[in-house]
Structure 1
Amino acid sequence: MESAWSKNELDQVEDCPKEQANVKFNDFHLNEIGQITTPTVVQNEPTVTWTTENGKLYSIFMTDPDAPSRAEPKFREWYHWGVINIPGTNIKEGQVVAEYVGAGPPEGTGLHRYVFLVYEQNEKVETSDKIGMVMKGRDTQKIQDIAKKYKLGCLVAAACFQAQYDDYVPLLYAKFQ
């Protein structure tokens, strides 16, 4: 797995995860790190699974390290999704700290990488943090900082896809408040 992270230049991951998370968007299954798809395909929250231990809680995050473009990533990350306190892989029973926003690379910025990071929690996280369907605050969040803030454990699984602008992106932007 380490070579796949290096190949895709995913340097915001401090530790190489143990496994690739199983990510599925309706009929699209993310089979390899860096697989290319479209914003249209990934517009809705995916199903994500990984190997778990009984009784453990997990957190999952999705980030775009190429915001606003891979050539000039001035934000370095854009926070697309965050769920904490997930029992096993039952994401629906976790606590949403950032509502899911699918891929939305600006027109003319080429391929963006979208990275899923799954952490094992050391304990239940108590927080009232929540980012709704807004842009504000998503460009200032770094997943490593969030992991430290919540005192998360090790990175246990990850996945990554790439996407570039398509006709769905303006529809996504219109959803923001």
Structure 2
Amino acid sequence: MALTNLLVRNYLKTVICNNNPLLITARLGHTIRGKRPGVARSLEQRLQEENAKDPELTARVNIGFPRLKPSRSEQLKERLAHLKAQRSSEEVEKLARSNKLLIDLDEVQSEYRATNGQYDLRVIADHYGIFDDLFGLAYFVPRVVLNVKYHMDGDTHGLVYNGNVIKPAEAVSAPEVTFDGTIDPITGKKSEGDFFWTLVASNPDAHFSDSSSEYVHWFISNIPNGDVKKGEVLVDYLPPFPPKGVGYQRMIFVLYKQNGKLDFSKYKLPTSDKYNLEKRTFKTLDFYREQQDNITPAGLAFFQSDWDSSLTKFYHNALNMKEPIFEYDFPKPYLADQKFFPLKQAFNLYLDRHRDPKEVNKEYLERKLAKTHPFEGPEKPLRFPNAHPIRGVPSWLKTEIRKRRLGIGRINDYK
């Protein structure tokens, strides 16, 4: 018998080494059929083969400005000049040696946003699905630093970072938007000519009837040299209004550089229709397709917003509609028909399951108050709960007392 088992084991080892696809072996009581793990395709590989996509049709397209990088020698010259200036400064050296050298964080932040920050913003926007929902398979790397700032009560400001949260009550008024509109996005240098820009703020998550459309919240065109106040306001500002229960919605600001002064009069929304949501229906992809020969996306900023109590009056007074509230309707827990003899179940827990929850809560509260002194508070818990024997009670009650001492089980729901 032992010899037979040894021969079978050697045969199975030989089969495994030969990668036999029809391997049928018994291992620890389990049967292995087909190819072994590592040879057989995983579920992810099979799904990729079944849902294969043409790379030419799904390739992403960069619709933004290219960036002309300076030569390597110029970059090294700038770095060396900066290092020499720092090392030749005796004041900087003294402060550094005495640990009193302070770094201006605002200057560091502005330098970061003007260099690597825009590349990081593109990655963050991909993470939040900005390009997928606005431009489909297209994307762009922001070349112009777009600063958006909301003015709140007093001297406080709400700055728009890369997806930070700003409440609707903090974004009631139009923000202050600034950017350097005299810099050429390609060369990164100032130009003597006039540049015209378009700023569009939209929300791809807010449309009530068409999930593929957006609501345009702000539209300003023909902004001369970055002076937003001199631009042509086509659509007045509308604050975000995320309904209760839907979570966060994205408010996206996209800055386009125009090839010249353009006529966007067909996008004009009269002031009388400021709160008409149907006329604010907008699609960034369709807008860009129509104007792609005249505009190029160059700047990006966005934040998130969720419901707050200020929107109740906004829906009733401004939008003149009933406030939508989205809630999940939890179905009642299923209870099977009650049995006369519930086998293998604690009968006290079984009966509580078919009782009114309010009655069970009241019973637990009365039990807790019965052991609570009005001035000294509840009884002190036992230091070693399992060291105190429980005698003279049935097994189900012994289990209940033990759980109560240890603070486990259903008692935690009613503390």
Cα deviation, residue 46, structure 1: 0.5
CA distance in 2, matches of 1:92, 1:169: 28
Match of 2:287 in 1: 146
Structure 1 residue 60 corresponds to structure 2 residue 199: yes
Aligned counterpart in structure 2 of residue 136 of structure 1, from 268, 278, 282: 278
Q: CA deviation at 1:19?
A: 4.1
Is residue 25 from structure 1 mapped to residue 145 from structure 2 by the alignment?
no
Give the letter aligned to residue 146 of structure 1: F
Residues 111-158 of structure 1: CA deviation (Å, up to 9, x unaligned): 00000000001111124332231212212x112322343454211111
Match of 1:175 in 2: 318
Distance 2:314 2:226 in 1: 27
Residue 73 of structure 1, CA deviation: 7.0
More displaced 10-residue stretch of structure 1: 89-98 or 158-167: 89-98
Contact 2:181 2:227 in 1 (8 A): no
The Cα of 1:108 is off from its aligned counterpart by 1.2
Summarize the alignment of residues 79-158 of structure 1 with structure 2, pairs less than 5 Å apart: 79-129=216-266, 130-131=268-269, 132=271, 133=274, 134-139=276-281, 141-150=282-291, 151-158=293-300
Alpha-carbon distance in 1 for matches of 2:221, 2:231: 6
2:279 is matched by which residue type in structure 1?
G
Of structures 1 and 2, the one scoring higher in RCO (CA 8 A, sep 6+) is: 1
Q: In 1, Cα distance between the equivalents of 2:309 and 2:165?
A: 16
**Are the counterparts in 2 of residues 67 and 73 from structure 1 also a CA contact under 8 Å?**
no
TM-score (norm 1): 0.87
Runs of 5+ consecutive residues of structure 1 not aligned to the other structure: none
Alignment match, 2:163: 34
Give percent identity, aligned residues only. 25
Give deviations 1:4-44, integer Å, cap 9, x for gaps.
111212122432322441100011111x2111110011111
Amino acid at match of 1:106: P
Q: Deviations over 1:43-72 (max 9, x none)?
A: 110111123225101000001111248xx9
Measured in 2, the distance between the counterparts of 1:20 and 1:56 equals 15
Question: What's the offset of the Cα at 1:166?
Answer: 1.0
TM-score w.r.t. length of structure 2: 0.39
Asked if the contact 2:205/2:214 (under 8 Å) is kept, the reply is yes
Which of residues 153, 175, 197 is equivalent to 1:46? Answer: 175
Deviation at 1:92, TM superposition (A): 1.8
Count of matched residue pairs:
173
Deviation at 1:167, TM superposition (A): 1.7
CA RMSD in angstroms, aligned pairs only: 2.2
Moved over 4 A (4+): none
The structure in which a higher percent of residues are strand is: 1
Please say which structure displays the higher CA radius of gyration.
2
Q: Deviations over 1:85-105 (max 9, x none)?
A: 011222221111111101111
**One-letter amino acid matched to 1:43:** V
Cα gap change, 1:19/1:56 in structure 2, threshold over 3 Å: closer, same or farther? closer
Higher mean C-alpha deviation, range 121-130 or range 157-166 = 121-130
